Amino acid sequence: MLTKMRESLQELWQYRELIYNLVLRDLKVRYKNSVLGVAWSWLNPLLMMLVFTFVFEVMQGAAIPNFHVLVLSALLPWNFFSGAVMGGIPSIVGNGHLIKKIYFPREILPISVVLSNLVNFLIALPVLFMLVLVSGMSLHWWMLLLPLPILVETVFALGIILFLSTLEVFYRDTHMLMDVGMMAWFFLTPIFYSVGQLPKQATLLGWAFSPQRLIFWLNPMASIVNTYQDLIYNGTLTRLDFLARTSVTAFLVLFLGYGFFLHFRGRFGEEV
pLDDT higher at 7 or 169: 169
pLDDT tens digits, one per residue of 188-225: 888 877 776 776 777 776 777 677 777 777 889 999 99
Any idea what DSSP says for residue 236?
S
Q: Cα 106 to chain center, whole Å?
A: 21
State the total domains in the chain.
1
Highest mean pLDDT among 176-180, 190-194, 203-207, 231-235: 176-180
3-state secondary structure at position 208: strand
Pair 232, 69: CB distance under 8 Å: yes
Query: What is the per-residue pLDDT for 65?
Result: 75
The mean pLDDT value of the chain amounts to: 85
Query: What is the per-residue pLDDT for 34?
Result: 57
pLDDT tens digits, one per residue of 246-266: 999 999 999 999 999 999 988
Instruction: Report the alpha-carbon distance of residue 2 to residue 8 in Å, rounded.
Output: 10
Query: What is the per-residue pLDDT for 69?
Result: 86
Q: What is the dihedral of CA 216, 220, 226, 229, to 10 degrees?
A: -170
pLDDT at residue 180 is higher than 80: yes
Instruction: Report the alpha-carbon distance of residue 171 to residue 165 in Å, rounded.
Output: 10
Q: Which amino acid, 75?
A: L
* Percent of the chain whose predicted confidence (pLDDT) is above 90: 38
pLDDT at residue 241 is higher than 80: no
Query: What is the per-residue pLDDT for 155?
Result: 97
pLDDT tens digits, one per residue of 96-138: 888 888 888 899 999 999 999 999 899 888 888 988 888 888 8
Pair 76, 83: CB distance under 8 Å: no
Pair 194, 202: CB distance under 8 Å: no
Structural domain range at position 61:
2-271
pLDDT higher at 221 or 38: 221
